[in-house]
């Protein structure tokens, strides 16, 4: 399990630290904002405003993603020793509720409509989930795969990994829209790991080569483009 999770964190890029809020949108379908807002900490020379994101009382806070309309989704360490999710909208921090019955629940992306996708673990294994309108929906595959949900577009297309081998390394990518699933496998790759989808349907992620190097990809219009930084050990 330790090797698997270490490799997961190498492959799946996570946005951390300070974030720029350039948009304004009313809060979606979560609990009431926390009484203590985030602290606006800096304005750069171009007039962009940066925010220091610290969930009140947390042991750590990390920003995970930002929607096209400016909502920031992230995670924080609670005093219970577990990781929890938060949503930052117009300076107010809101707790993202955990999946009922899960012992680990991690939100990954939020779209412009306030719909969140994430991953949770229970006694059976790992599952993807969707949180919309205050209700959870589980994403599972019929082959007993472990599933993650990593990205969602504004029209509700979800991308992530389905892992029938349950080792993460040999995972397949998928795109899910209105119950229809498309598998995304980079040619000759050991595993394919989509992490985000844009509102125009472009999908980005990484894939694992046969010699166990990770390289980035863009999937657009049903075609793959390799994304590689020269002299890098992984992308």
The per-residue pLDDT for 47 is: 77
The per-residue pLDDT for 20 is: 35
Q: What pLDDT digit, counting tens, does each position of 62-97 carry? A: 999 999 898 999 999 998 888 999 999 887 888 999
Output the average pLDDT for the chain.
82
The per-residue pLDDT for 178 is: 92
Q: What pLDDT digit, counting tens, does each position of 1-33 carry? A: 443 444 454 444 433 333 333 333 333 333 334
Q: Are 203 and 183 in contact (CB under 8 A)?
A: no
Closest CA to 86 of 27, 43, 7, 167: 27
The per-residue pLDDT for 90 is: 82
Which tokens belong to 166? 């349950």
The per-residue pLDDT for 17 is: 32
The per-residue pLDDT for 51 is: 67
Residue labelled with tokens 């007993």:
144
Residue 131 to residue 145: CA distance in whole angstroms: 21
Residue 163 to residue 184: CA distance in whole angstroms: 12
Q: Which residues of the chain have pLDDT under 50?
A: 1-7, 9-37
């Amino acid at each position: 399990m330790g090797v698997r999770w270490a490799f997961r964190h190498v492959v799946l890029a996570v946005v951390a630290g300070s974030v720029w809020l350039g948009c304004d949108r009313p809060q979606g379908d979560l609990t009431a904002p926390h009484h203590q807002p985030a602290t606006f900490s800096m304005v750069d020379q171009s007039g962009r405003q940066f925010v220091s994101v610290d969930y009140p009382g947390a042991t750590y806070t990390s920003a995970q993603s930002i929607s096209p309309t400016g909502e920031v989704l992230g995670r924080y360490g609670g005093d219970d020793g577990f990781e929890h999710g938060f949503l930052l909208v117009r300076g107010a921090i809101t707790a993202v509720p955990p999946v009922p019955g899960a012992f680990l629940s991690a939100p990954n992306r939020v779209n412009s409509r306030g719909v969140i996708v994430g991953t949770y673990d229970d006694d059976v294994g790992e599952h993807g989930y969707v949180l919309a309108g205050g209700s959870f929906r589980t994403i599972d595959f019929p082959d007993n795969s472990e599933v993650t949900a990593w990205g969602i577009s504004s029209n509700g297309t979800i991308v992530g990994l389905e892992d029938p081998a349950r080792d993460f390394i040999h995972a397949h990518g998928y795109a899910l829209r209105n119950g229809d699933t498309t598998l995304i496998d980079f040619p000759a790759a050991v595993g394919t790991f989509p992490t985000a989808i844009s509102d125009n349907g472009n999908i980005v992620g990484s894939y694992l080569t046969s010699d166990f190097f990770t390289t980035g990809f863009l999937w657009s219009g049903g075609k793959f483009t390799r994304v590689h930084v020269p002299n890098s050990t992984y992308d």
